[in-house]
Chain A
Amino acid sequence: MKLELKKRETVSRRAALLVPLASFGVSLLFGAILLAVSGANPLRTYAAMAVGAFGSLNGLSEVLVKSIPLILTGLGVALAFRMRFWNIGAEGQLTMGAVAAAGVALFWSQNLPAWTILPLALVMGCVAGALWAGVPALLKATLKVDETLTTLMLNYVAVLYSEHLYYIAWRAPSANSGTERIPEFSWLPKIIGRAHAGIFIGLALALLLWAVFRYTRWGFELKIIGSNPNAARYLGINIARNIVVTLLVSGAISGLAGASEVLGLTRRLQQGISVGYGYTAIIIAWMAQLNPLGVVLVAFLMAALLVGGDQIQMRMRLPASVGVVLQGMLLIPMLAGSIFRDYSLHFSRGKHLESGTANPEEADDGRPAETEEPHATGDGA
């Protein structure tokens, strides 16, 4: 008996649905073992997490609160990942978006009419995020500088800069840290509990991106660049321009996440703006298989894990990082399982006779024929 793998022409729909679900199960199982080993009752912990997240209106509104930045950064990351641009700088883009929005709300209202401040703060949040992603994109498009490192390094720079602002440069004289509260006319309205109108922005953008990916030429170009750059070049797609434009949009969406945190939730620039949403966004984008509607669903689940983690910290004095561990664990079975989506498995007995399936010459011609990356773009809802 010999196992053979054949690359599928299109991804397996069934596996695309089952693998993330199975990953979630494996992750919970691993977490249960970890909890049991560290002396906590896994079932009781999970029950407490679920009740904490979904058991009350307050819990649910907290899940919504955390969903907003997760949906937005998840969308931003998914957009860049579509073309296999590894933007892992959503955290920094979010932080710069928060800085810009706070700056506009705090300092521009002296000179400009009040009603312009909220839209301007949102726009400048986008601009700041776009610039923060645009620099690595430009470096990649012109000089081919590795984007994983540049986007990531800029996260540290952004977080340090924001800390400098709320600890020193913009600190309210009355506080140890944090700026003054932004004026009321610059607030994004709350809807339930602490959850604010940013959720509508997130949902609208998800729908918009879904339509863009499905129906526009740009969406098509991203997909070709991501799955087969050589074909993209052959088709005359301008890859460098696509990198810059796509990353400006990707950064803008993550910047919007930061702006909406400041304008809708904290209402000042303060500690706790950069708490790792930009990294969770990577997990979200990949779990959702880069589908914008999937991003909404997965982001909601990830938010529930975070809220559940906070709850067990309060109630059971367990580390809140349980939620983060479960999230971190998710991608591993997901990655292991993607082989079932991208390849079909055949068991063959002894030597196979159909020479039509594979040409033995092909394997040894020194040409990297099988070097394209597994395509993770499951299309449609």
Chain B
Amino acid sequence: MTETLTLLTSILTITLRAGTSLIYGAIGETYTERSGILNLGVEGTMLMGAVTGFATAYYSGSVWLGLLVAMIVGAALAALHAFLTVTMRANQVVSGLSITLFGTGLASFLGERLGPASNNYNLVGMIGPRFSPLAIPGLSEIPALGAFFKQDLLTYALFLLVPLAWAYLYKTRNGLNLRAVGENPQTADAMGIDVIKTRYLYTIVGGALIGLGGAHLSLAYAPGWAENITGGRGWIVIALVIFAMWNPARAVLGAVLFGGINAVQFRLQAGGTTIPSAYLNMLPYLITIAVLVAMTWWEALSHRIGAPAALGTPYMREDK
């Protein structure tokens, strides 16, 4: 009995650690999409956040400074996306893809260029300061639930951020305006809400959170920067937003599900299973597809549409 409990605690601990970057990303993307902007640049933005965050922390010795830089970089990439799609009316899908392609290439270049001369300018393999797990005395001893209390500061911050993100979206005037812009920009505009400003603002805020999610990977989850450290997490974030039906609180459930897959995979591999690791590693991607199919089907059956009605469409007010 105690053995099962220990196993459960350990799986839950890894689940939360693996899910943290996903939750930050999912909240960011939820806010972006709620304004009507689809940002497919998450993967590239997370990579840029991870590499710049780690490089900053490595040279300055401050994880907080690293975090700040990652957020600024994420915000800047999102601002670029907003400029292309809102102001220049570019196709949102292609613009997001271009942010991902650009971010992926640039992150890999920076990873090979920002390192110390002694390591041939390579950042891969360098050890820098990290957010280490901080066990809360007492609480972390509780069986199973203790997993929530042996996390790093960025995971603890989520205990506050998730309810706040939910309350802001559903319980405040600003949140109502944001949802209005995503559902029906024409009406929102008529109500006196600045559609353009709203879309810029929440795309940029979303980008900062996505960058922060990326930095969690290189500053807490993994021991440092590694090429392609995200491994598709940026895309899983986008799937999570759909899974959570654009609700930041529900994104947690999804992130725990995907973090849980990671954790189980990890346990199975450590336990020496006969299943080839390639098949285990496929799980998160296959499950993402399965979840998407199930969600889409369920939405169609129950006539519930979770997506903001104006998602992906540019807003143009030709006159006035």
Contact = CB atoms under 8 A, between A and B. Distances in A.
Interface of A: 4-5, 34, 38, 86, 88, 139, 143-146, 148-150, 152-154, 156-157, 160-161, 163-164, 168, 279, 282-283, 286, 317, 319, 321-322, 324-325, 327-329, 331-332, 334-336, 338-339, 342-343, 358-360, 362-368, 370-371, 373-374, 376
Contact of A164 (B89, B95, B278): B278
9 contacts: A146-B242, A156-B282, A324-B109, A331-B95, A335-B98, A338-B90, A368-B310, A370-B314, A376-B91
B97 A88 contact: yes
Given A168-B276, A366-B186, A321 B112 contact: yes
Interface centre among B95, B98, B186, B232 (most CB of A within 10 A): B98
Give chain A's interface secondary structure class: helix
A280 to B, nearest CB: 8
B166 to A, nearest CB: 24
A358 B109 contact: no
A335 B297 contact: no
Nearest 3 pairs between A and B by C-beta?
Answer: A331-B98, A164-B278, A328-B102
B318 A358 contact: yes
B316 interface: yes
Interface string B275-317: 0101101100110110011001100100000000010011111
Contacts of A365: 186
A149 B187 contact: no
Contacts of A154: 285, 289
Contacts of B316: 5, 370
A149 B292 contact: yes
Give chain B's interface secondary structure class: helix
A158 B316 CA distance: 41
Given A143-B296, A336-B88, A339-B88, A329 B102 contact: yes
Contacts of A363: 186, 317-320
For the side of the interface on B, what is the size category?
35 or more
Given A371-B313, A371-B314, 7 more contacts: A149-B235, A149-B239, A153-B239, A282-B97, A327-B101, A329-B102, A331-B97
B8 interface: no
A4 to B, nearest CB: 8
A328 B106 contact: yes
Interface string B61-77: 00000000000000000
A12 B190 CA distance: 33
B119 to A, nearest CB: 13
Contacts of B112: 319, 321
Given A160-B281, A282-B97, A366-B186, A335 B90 contact: yes
Contacts of B286: 153, 157
Nearest to A135: B289
A145 B102 CA distance: 26
Given A154-B285, A371-B313, A364 B232 contact: no
